[in-house]
A and B are shown apart, each in its own frame.
Chain A
Amino acid sequence: MNKITRRQALGTTAGALTVLGLTAAATSVATSAAATPAAAPTPPGTVDEVYQGRRIQITTGGGGHHGGHHAPDQPTVRIDGGELHIMRNADGSWISVINHYETFTEPKLLARAAVRDLQGAPLVPFGGMA
């Protein structure tokens, strides 16, 4: 498993595909938001992209977050389905449990930084022993 994820993380092919994936995801989000604004608007900040071979999903306004200490409108960030613990700072910047001492201007940049740090490794559930 380690070999596979490492190959995914380091492969130049995956890097090239990532560029295409980013473009496609951005286009699709923009199109659906413009075409059906009343029916099912895509909430601002929603992201579904492949970055360096990992799927980053960011949704807003939903549940699924553990604990009661976060604001209800806080986005949920997932990397290959695993939730990344994130937090908003008073100045509007963001941190995650992977990059906890460095701030990012938006959750997407935070998620991409986590992907780079993970080097293919999966996230494990919050706070637990792996």
Chain B
Amino acid sequence: MTVRKNQATLTPDEKHAFTSALLELKRNGSYDRFVTTHNGFIMSDTDSGDRVGHRSPSFLPWHRRFLLEFEEALQKVDASVALPYWDWTVDRTTRSSLWAPDFLGGTGRARDGQVIDGPFAYATGRWNVDVRVDGRAYLRRALGAGVAQLPTRAEVDSVLAMPVYDMAPWNSSSNGFRNHLEGWRGANLHNRVHVWVGGQMSTGVSPNDPVFWMHHAFIDKLWAEWQAKHPQSTYLPAAGTTNVVDLNDTMRPWNNVTPADMLDHRKFYTFDTEPAAANQR
């Protein structure tokens, strides 16, 4: 069974295995297909039209399935690898070991935003940004430049306290847990982290930066924490909603998986620290 660990706890060998598997997916072409898929959804998901991957209730189950598919691809390269998660409420500075040269490398240089150390620096010749929205083929970051602070644990807890999963109109203007976690409303959790990292992470082709997966693995864990805190709450809407993926509707692009199939992460993986159910506290 796959165990997803906090990135801060990985051993040097685990970090090396993870980055090596990423580089192999990049080399064999698998990686860029994930970037293309994500960008396709982010450009077509609209508040007033069909919406699946973002700005809608299925934001969470869609990304859970997307990460599962990516993790399976990594495990075809190295069966020992699991997606780590980045708890940005704790590891919240540019000095975090996450950004060290033996893991993801650091922020971009001032002149052009180019990441110049770590396994994903352009000069290595192993991480060309091919699925892109502008002419630049190098990985870029501007840690902390687009927004000064990552979300705090108190802000996360305020969102986890929201008992209703999602609400009409089921988009970026909704009240409820999903939209506050996604960040279009309120304290702004998920969206703000993309902006804090900067570079490709702030664009539609954000999976070009490997930190995308660790960010979303933590968002996914927060969904599990919310479920444990609110065992009586569930995914909404239940049925019959135009342009929106209901509980038992299938999700594009897979067309054979529903939000209901994604509700229990323990069918697929566990976390190093499993969220305790509210009634066990």
* A residues with CB within 8 A of B: 6, 67, 69-71, 85, 87-91, 97-103, 117-119, 121-124, 126-127, 129-130
With the chains together, A98 CA to B55 CA distance in Å?
A: 17
CB pair B202–A99 under 8 Å, yes or no, is yes
Q: Contact size class for B? A: 35 or more
With the chains together, A98 CA to B169 CA distance in Å?
A: 26
Interface membership of chain B positions 185-219, coded 1 if the CB is closer than 8 angstroms to chain A and 0 otherwise: 00000111011000000111110000000000000
Chain A residues contacting B135 (CB-CB under 8 Å) are 121-124, 130
Cβ-closest chain A residue relative to B192: A101
B interface, over-half SS: loop
User: What are 24 inter-chain pairs, A to B, with CB distance below 8 A?
Assistant: A6-B111, A71-B48, A85-B43, A85-B133, A89-B184, A90-B48, A97-B42, A97-B133, A97-B203, A100-B194, A100-B202, A100-B203, A101-B183, A101-B194, A101-B195, A101-B206, A102-B202, A103-B184, A122-B135, A124-B132, A126-B43, A127-B36, A127-B43, A129-B130
Chain A residues contacting B50 (CB-CB under 8 Å) are 69
CB pair B49–A119 under 8 Å, yes or no, is no
With the chains together, A127 CA to B40 CA distance in Å?
A: 7
Which residue of the partner chain, among A100, A118, A119, contacts B42 with CB atoms under 8 Å? A100
Cβ-closest chain B residue relative to A98: B203
CB pair A129–B131 under 8 Å, yes or no, is yes
Q: A85-B204, A101-B202 are in contact. Are A90 and B169 (CB under 8 A)?
A: yes
Residue B97 interfacial (CB < 8 Å): no
Which residue of the partner chain, among B40, B47, B132, B146, contacts A130 with CB atoms under 8 Å? B132
Cβ-closest chain B residue relative to A5: B135
Cβ-closest chain A residue relative to B191: A101
Residue B39 interfacial (CB < 8 Å): yes
With the chains together, A98 CA to B203 CA distance in Å?
A: 5
With the chains together, A99 CA to B198 CA distance in Å?
A: 9
CB pair A89–B204 under 8 Å, yes or no, is no
CB pair B172–A89 under 8 Å, yes or no, is yes
B242 → chain A closest CB, angstroms: 15
Chain A residues contacting B46 (CB-CB under 8 Å) are 69-70, 87
With the chains together, A100 CA to B146 CA distance in Å?
A: 12
CB pair B47–A90 under 8 Å, yes or no, is yes
Chain A residues contacting B44 (CB-CB under 8 Å) are 67, 69
Cβ-closest chain B residue relative to A85: B43
CB pair B202–A121 under 8 Å, yes or no, is no
Cβ-closest chain B residue relative to A117: B202
Chain B residues contacting A103 (CB-CB under 8 Å) are 184
Residue B227 interfacial (CB < 8 Å): no
Chain A residues contacting B43 (CB-CB under 8 Å) are 85, 87, 97, 126-127
CB pair A90–B195 under 8 Å, yes or no, is no
Interface centre among A70, A87, A100, A117, by most chain B C-beta atoms within 10 angstroms, is: A100
Chain B residues contacting A119 (CB-CB under 8 Å) are 112-113
CB pair A97–B169 under 8 Å, yes or no, is no
Interface membership of chain B positions 12-53, coded 1 if the CB is closer than 8 angstroms to chain A and 0 otherwise: 000000000000000000001000100110111011111000
Q: Which residues 102-138 in B have Cβ within 8 Å of A in the complex?
A: 111-113, 130-137
